[in-house]
Structure 1
């Protein structure tokens, strides 16, 4: 059996390879794909097959996907370019006769105002029309996305945002990676759409408390209007587009787009998801590690 993992030089893809190995999949049965041979080298040293690909160069995908019994398509990181890149990957999977394809999507991708959802919804449509057996993993937010807030709070003693009392059901990347490994190595998932999230939907007051616990000093959440938030972000050096994206995302959170915590992720991985404080601590330690 050959399991192919795209994005293996990124966090989620690499963690999925680790999870597959932990589940007893022989390294020689795993093919890790990414854009950097140098960053793939540590996996090759562990006996994992590797190949350099580029979603914008379809000719690199055919050989890399050949013989795949299962393929994890980790969504591309380039917002605005995902649809053509994913289309190339799906077309290549069809040409290669991939046994089944697993895709990492966004929460409620086909029925949400989440700013990141449209590209995922279109990718899901392309997958539905591909004729391939497909499983969709609609991953909620990653706890690691908030590690930057720790450093900001260390300097100011506060977190600033316009999410009001909105909630985020985040989980650690390793939780989502374990779920992907489960789906890739077990039967009964064809056609499934899994809404995956952490067990607890936390508020930004909760996030401030967790950051304060990590830092050993009180941290508060200062809720501001979207206009005030955008102004503060621009003053901090963010360009207009990035500041607008952050404010829009906080608006999505305020409206409940990331609050759903159905428990499916914990069911798949057979354990509770990583708590917010623990996830932040692990992510910060990893970021500070020389090997990170």
Structure 2
């Protein structure tokens, strides 16, 4: 068991401060965050060049060290040893809360294992901004972050997410957002969705509608900046909202997966059987025999 008294004056170690930074509008940084960045012994930053711009804006002269997702164990150990020797360290990412779809979690885990206090400051978070602005239910929500890059892993993740009854939060880059919206439609059906981009910045924009409508918007809309995608949950547990296929014949349903997801017929038949809760042999017969 680990009990942390964050501000115990008898603590012999330094402290790891987790400091959120603005996601766009520099005025969103807190006074406490600025004071912490000034007072620590040094700052561990995802990208020292980006953090330097932030520090210069607020006239903060502080030592910086690089710490990102590709940092090796030696860099992490250096941070831990510094705090064991009484140094205070601030961890920042390029924008928002460190360790939430950003680097930071490994060094936080290590600090906790070594009984080094971890103090998290409140601050900007893109996902929560988008959730509240979406108008979708906020009582319960599921934050996923960025979907996997590999096609197979991405489809598995979307299949699992499609079953959730809670509002779902995703992050996506402008380079993949169109494909992701199409995949969402394939797995979720035509649910309500809200996408937010350039949050807190001058060109902040929210697009609210059904997945069909937002996919259509994406053909001509501005696809710039990082995107937050907020998706309506399933109506009830176990219901994946894949009712987009209800007007299709079994044969056309199979063909959809072959054409759109590039599945072999065997896998497409298996997926249709799962969607429709049918026996695979019945789907096979409808596609290969009745369709002749």
Provide the TM-score with structure 1 as the length reference.
0.35
Structure ID, larger Rg: 2
**Structure (1/2) with the larger helix percentage:** 1
